[in-house]
Structure 1
Amino acid sequence: MEQREQLVKSLKPHWVWAIAFGSAVGWGAFVLPVDWMGMAGPLGVIIGFLIGAVLMIIIGVSYGFLIERLPVSGGEFAFAYYGLGRYHAFLCGWFLTLGYLSIVALNASAIALLGKFVLPSIVEFGFMYDIAGWHVYAGEVIIAGIALVIFAFLNMRGASLSGFTQFVFCISLIVGVILLTIAMILHPSSSFSNLQPLFKPGIGSISAILAIVAIAPWAYVGFDNIPQAAEEFDFPPKKSFKIIVLALLCAGFTYSLTIIATGVGQSWTGAVAAGSVWGTGAIVENAYGAVGVILLSFALLMGIFTGLNGFYMSTSRLLFAMGRAKVIPSAFGKLHPKHKTPHVGILFTLAVTIFAPFFGREALLWIVDMSALGVTIAYFYACFIAYNLFKWSNQEVKRESEKSMVSPGRKFCSLLGVISSICFFLLLVVPGSPGFLGKPSWIALFVWIAIGAIFFLIRYKGFRAIPKNEMDYLILGDYVDKITTSDTDVKNIEEIN
C-alpha cells in the first residue's frame, strides 16, 4: 500500500473561525443588500438570514460530530465515503467542487465590480464584448486575474500564513462593518422610516422570508470549510462545533448590519427602482461622498479577500482528499516538497477560475445560483450520515463501542438537518417556489452533471478496482476504527478490532 500524504497540523482555533466566518461573509453582504431587499424587504431579509443561521447551526451539529470523529481533509467527501461508500463520495465531492470553484471565481469578479464603481476610468478600458447585458472590459479581467494569482501564491506558502492573514482580514471586516453602520445611522438624512415597507409589497411576508431562506445555503457556505481544514487543526477537533456556531452567529449579525446600514440611508424601494450597479455604494456615496465609499470599499475588500482566501483553501483541500483517494488524478494528492501545501489543487483552482472574468458577472451569477444546489446536497449527506450514526436509546446499541453514540438530542438535530436540507433543495428545484433556479442556472447544472458523468465513466474501472481497505486508508487515514465494509459500498458500519 502506497504512502499516504499528510497535511501539517498548524491551524489555531481563531484562524479556523476566521476561515469559516470570512468565507460565509463575502462580497454579497456589501454588493447585494438592495437586490435582497427587492426580493423580500428589509425585515424579510433580516428574518430570512437569521432563520438561515439557525438552520445552519442545526446542520452544524452533524458537522461538529463528524469532524470530531473524522478530522481528515475532504469534509463532506470523507463523510459520504464513511457512511455510504465511494460512489456517493464522488457524487458529493463533484458537486461541492463546483460550488467552491464558482465562489472563488465570483469573489475575484467582485473586485472588478468594485473597481467599476470606485475607479471606472481605470477599470473600464479595453472593451471586449457583452454577455447577458454585462460589458466585459480587459481592465476588470486583469484586476480579477491579479487577485487570483496573489491568493494562489499566498495559499501555496503554507496554511499558517493563510490562516493568520484570514484572521487579520476578518477583524478588519468586522470593524469596517460596525463603523459603517454607526455612521449611516447617525447621518442627518438617515431615518429608520426608510426601511418601510418592512416586507416587499405584493407578496406575503412568509413568501418573502422563504425567498431569503432559500439562498441561505449559498449565503452561509463557508462554515463547512472547517471540516476541509480539519486535518490541519492544531487543537482538539471537539472544539469545532463551538467554532461553527460562533462563525454562523457572527455571519448572521454581519448580514443584518449591512441591510440596516443600506436601508436607513435611503428609501429602499427607491434604491431598487434606481437599478444602480452597486446600490449600497450609491447610498453610502450620497451620504458621505468619497469618504463613505472608501470605508465601504475597505469592508468590501476584506469580505472579498476572506472569501478568496477561505475558498482557495477549502477547494484545494477537497481536491487533495479526492486526489489522495484516486477519485481524481493522484497528482492532486501530492504536497509541495517545501511548503507542504496541496499545490496542485491550488494551481488547478487558479487555472479554472482565471477564465471566469471573461464570462461576465451575470454568467457567473447563474453558476453560483446553481452551485447552491450542490452545497445543499453536501449538507444533506453530512446530516444523513450523522443521523444514521446517532442512537435514540441504549436499546439500539448492538456493541459496546456504540454506547457513546446514544444521543437523542443530537440525533433529533441531525434529523432536522436532513429535513432542512431537503427543504432547501425543494425551494431551489420546485417550479413556483421562491428560490426556483432560472433557466441559465439549470443549463449550467446539467452541463456540470454531464461532465461529471463522463469523467466518472472514464475512471470507473480503475476507481472500482481499488481495494476497499486501501480506499479506507487513503480517505480516512488513522481514523479507520469504524468503516463501511459492504462490498457494494452501502451503509453498514462495523468496528474493526
Structure 2
Amino acid sequence: MEKREVLEKNLKPSWVWAIAFGSSIGWGAFILPGDWIAEAGPAGAMIGLLLGAVVMMFIAVSYGVLIRKHPVSGGEFAYAFLSAGKTWAFITGWFLALGYACIVALNASAFSLLLKYLFPSFMKQLFLYEIAGWEVYLPEVIISSLAILLFAYLNIRGNGFSGKLQFIFSVVLILGVAIMGIYTFAFADFPIENMKPAFPDGKSPLVSILLILAIAPWAYVGFDNVPQAAEEFKFSPSKAFGLIIMSLLASGLVYATMIGVTSWTFASGTSVDHSNLWLTGDIISSSFGTVGVVVLAIAIIMGIFTGLNGFFHSSSRLLFAMSRGKTLPVFFSDLHPKYNTPYKSIIFIALFTLPSVWFGREALIWIVDMSSIGVSIAYFFTCFTAYRVLSWTRNTNGLERSPIKKTIALLGAAFSTMFVLLLIVPGSPAQLGTPSIIALLVWIVLGASFFTSIYKRFKVFSKDELSYYILGDKK
C-alpha cells in the first residue's frame, strides 16, 4: 500500500475549544434575534435555542466516544465508513463538504452585510445587478473576496498563528456579548415585563419552540469541527468531549443573551420600531449609543472571523481526509512542504467560494439552508456509529461497555432523524423552501454523477486498505 499522509499534532485545547465555539457563533447570533422573536416570541426563541444546545450535547456524547477511539481527520466521513461502508461515507462527506464551504462563503458575505449597515453610503456604490431581490454592489464583492483570501492564507500558514487568533477572537466575542447583556438588562426599567408576550399570539408554545429547535443543526454547526481537527490534537483525544460541551454551553448562552438584549431592553412598541430590518442593532444604538454600536460591531466581526477561520480549517481537513480515503483526487491530500497543511484543499475552498460573493446573499442562504440536511445526516452517522461501537453488557469483541452512552447515542440518532424530517416533511413548520429543495436535488444529482465516475477506481480498494487510509488501522 502507498504511504498514508498524516498531519502535524500542534493544536492546543484552548484553540480547539475556540474552533468549536467560534464556528458555532457567527453573524446569525447578532442579526437574527429579531426574526426569531417575531417567529417564536422571546421565551420560544430562548427555550428553543437552549434546548437545541442540550440536544447537541446528547449528540456530542457520540463525538466524544469516536474521537477518543479514532482521532483522525475526516470526522463524520470516517465514522460513516466505520458503521455503514464507503458509499455512505462518500455521501456524508459530500454533503458536509458543501455545508462547510457554504458557511465560509456566508460568513464572508456577512462581513460585507455588516459594513452595509454601518457605512451604507460607501458600500452602496457601483451597483452591479439584483438577484432574488438582493442588490449587489462592487464594494461588497471586493471586501468579501478579500476576506476569503485572507483566511485562506492564514490557514495555509498553519495552526500556530490561526489557532491563536481563533482563541483571541472568541474571548473578545464573549466579552462583547457580556457587556451588551449586562448593560441592557441594567438599563431596562422592567426587563422581564418587556419580554411579554413570551410567545406569539395565536401560536402555541410547543410549535414556537419547535420552529426554533429545528434550526439547532444550523445554529450550532461548528462544534462538529472538533473531530475534523482530531488528528492534530497536541493532547489526549479523551479531552475532546469536555471541550465540545464547554463550547456548546458558551454558544447557547451567547444566543440566549442576544435574544434577551433584543427583547428585554425596551417594551414592544416603544422607543424603537420592532419591525425594523435589524432590530438588535437599533436597540443597542438606542440604549447604548455609539459605544454600544462599536461593541456590537466588534462582537459581530469576531463571530464572522471565527466562522471563516474555523470552517476553512474543517472543510480543508474533510477534503484532505476524503482524498486520503480515495473518494477524491489525490490533489486534495497534498501537504505544504513548509507548513504541513493541506494547502491545495484550502486553495480549492477559496476558489470554490470566491464566485459565491457575486450571487447575492439570498441565493447563498438557499444553499446554506439546504446544507442543514447534510449536517443532520452527519450527526446521525456519528450517533449510529457510536451506538455500534458500544456494548450494553460486559466487553464483547473489544467493544466498550457503556449502557448509558449507548442509550444516549440512540437518542442522538433519533434527534438527528427528527431534524431531517422537520426539514423535508411537507407541512412541517420548518420545511425547506422550494429554492432550497431545488439546490438539494441539484447537489444530490452532482454527487451521484461524481460517485459513478469514481466508483470503478474506488471499488478496487479492499475494506482493510480503506480502513488504513481512512482510520489509520493496520491489519
Which TM-score band applies after superposition, normalised by the shorter structure? over 0.9
Between the aligned partners of 1:266 and 1:95, the Cα distance in structure 2 is 42
Matched residue, 1:238? 238
Matched residue, 1:484? none
Contact 1:38–1:272, Cα closer than 8 Å, also in 2: no
Contact 1:152–1:350, Cα closer than 8 Å, also in 2: yes
Offset, 1:469:
2.7
Offset, 1:291:
2.0
Q: TM-score scaled to structure 1, two decimals?
A: 0.93
**The one of 464, 475, 482 aligned to 2:459:** 464
Matched residue, 2:7? 7
Offset, 1:194:
2.5
- Aligned pairs for 1:137-216 (under 5 A) are 137-187=137-187, 191-216=191-216
Contact 1:71–1:227, Cα closer than 8 Å, also in 2: yes
Q: TM-score scaled to structure 2, two decimals?
A: 0.97
Matched residue, 1:61? 61
Contact 1:10–1:233, Cα closer than 8 Å, also in 2: yes
Matched residue, 1:420? 415
Matched residue, 2:81? 81
Q: What CA deviation, in whole Å up to 9, does each residue of 1:465-494 have, x standing for no partner?
A: 2233322211111x44xxxxxxxxxxxxxx
Secondary structure at the counterpart of residue 355 of structure 1:
helix
CA shift in 2, pair 1:44/1:188, >3 Å = closer
1:411 aligned onto 2:406: yes
Offset, 1:277:
3.3
Matched residue, 2:327? 327
Matched residue, 1:91? 91
Matched residue, 1:42? 42
- Aligned pairs for 1:268-279 (under 5 A) are 275-279=275-279
Secondary structure at the counterpart of residue 128 of structure 2:
strand
Q: What CA deviation, in whole Å up to 9, does each residue of 1:363-421 have, x standing for no partner?
A: 11111111111100000000011111211113xx543x23xx11100000001101111
Offset, 1:316:
0.4
Offset, 1:189:
6.8
- Aligned pairs for 1:369-408 (under 5 A) are 369-394=369-394, 397-399=395-397, 401-402=398-399, 405-408=400-403
Between the aligned partners of 1:409 and 1:352, the Cα distance in structure 2 is 42
1:433 aligned onto 2:456: no
Matched residue, 1:445? 440
Instruction: Judge which range, 25-34 or 357-366, deviates more.
Output: 357-366
Between the aligned partners of 1:86 and 1:291, the Cα distance in structure 2 is 54
Instruction: Judge which range, 449-458 or 182-191, deviates more.
Output: 182-191
Q: What CA deviation, in whole Å up to 9, does each residue of 1:242-296 have, x standing for no partner?
A: 1111110111011001111111233457899754332211221222332221110
Counterpart of 2:386, as a letter, is A
Contact 1:76–1:382, Cα closer than 8 Å, also in 2: yes
Offset, 1:103:
0.8
Q: What CA deviation, in whole Å up to 9, does each residue of 1:73-103 have, x standing for no partner?
A: 0000011112221111101000111110111
Between the aligned partners of 1:339 and 1:179, the Cα distance in structure 2 is 38
Contact 2:272–2:286, Cα closer than 8 Å, also in 1: no
Between the aligned partners of 1:96 and 1:182, the Cα distance in structure 2 is 37
Between the aligned partners of 1:121 and 1:190, the Cα distance in structure 2 is 37
Gap regions ≥5 residues in structure 2: none
Counterpart of 1:421, as a letter, is S
Matched residue, 1:224? 224
Between the aligned partners of 1:357 and 1:311, the Cα distance in structure 2 is 17
Between the aligned partners of 2:16 and 2:188, the Cα distance in structure 1 is 40
Instruction: Judge which range, 413-422 or 266-275, deviates more.
Output: 266-275
Structure 1 vs Structure 2 CA RMSD: 1.6
Secondary structure at the counterpart of residue 428 of structure 2:
coil
Contact 2:184–2:261, Cα closer than 8 Å, also in 1: yes
Between the aligned partners of 1:285 and 1:190, the Cα distance in structure 2 is 19
Counterpart of 1:100, as a letter, is Y
Offset, 1:126:
1.1
Secondary structure at the counterpart of residue 465 of structure 1:
coil
Between the aligned partners of 1:191 and 1:243, the Cα distance in structure 2 is 33
CA shift in 2, pair 1:136/1:30, >3 Å = same
Between the aligned partners of 1:470 and 1:301, the Cα distance in structure 2 is 44
Between the aligned partners of 1:336 and 1:266, the Cα distance in structure 2 is 53
Contact 1:74–1:227, Cα closer than 8 Å, also in 2: yes
Q: What CA deviation, in whole Å up to 9, does each residue of 1:395-452 have, x standing for no partner?
A: xx543x23xx111000000011011111111111111212111111101111111111
Q: What CA deviation, in whole Å up to 9, does each residue of 1:320-368 have, x standing for no partner?
A: 0011122111110111111111111111111111111211111111111
Between the aligned partners of 1:271 and 1:352, the Cα distance in structure 2 is 44
Gap regions ≥5 residues in structure 1: 481-495
Counterpart of 1:473, as a letter, is Y
Counterpart of 2:28, as a letter, is G
CA shift in 2, pair 1:67/1:112, >3 Å = same
Contact 1:189–1:287, Cα closer than 8 Å, also in 2: no
Between the aligned partners of 1:135 and 1:456, the Cα distance in structure 2 is 37
CA shift in 2, pair 1:267/1:442, >3 Å = farther
Between the aligned partners of 1:189 and 1:138, the Cα distance in structure 2 is 44
Secondary structure at the counterpart of residue 136 of structure 1:
strand
Between the aligned partners of 1:385 and 1:269, the Cα distance in structure 2 is 50
Offset, 1:154:
0.6
Between the aligned partners of 1:446 and 1:266, the Cα distance in structure 2 is 44
Matched residue, 1:485? none
Q: Give percent identity, aligned residues only.
A: 52
**The one of 447, 450, 456 aligned to 1:455:** 450
Instruction: Judge which range, 409-418 or 358-367, deviates more.
Output: 358-367
Contact 2:272–2:283, Cα closer than 8 Å, also in 1: no
Contact 1:108–1:308, Cα closer than 8 Å, also in 2: yes
Number of aligned pairs?
Answer: 475
Between the aligned partners of 2:191 and 2:386, the Cα distance in structure 1 is 47
Offset, 1:166:
0.4
Between the aligned partners of 2:14 and 2:321, the Cα distance in structure 1 is 24
Counterpart of 1:439, as a letter, is T
Matched residue, 2:124? 124
Between the aligned partners of 1:475 and 1:199, the Cα distance in structure 2 is 48
Between the aligned partners of 2:176 and 2:413, the Cα distance in structure 1 is 36
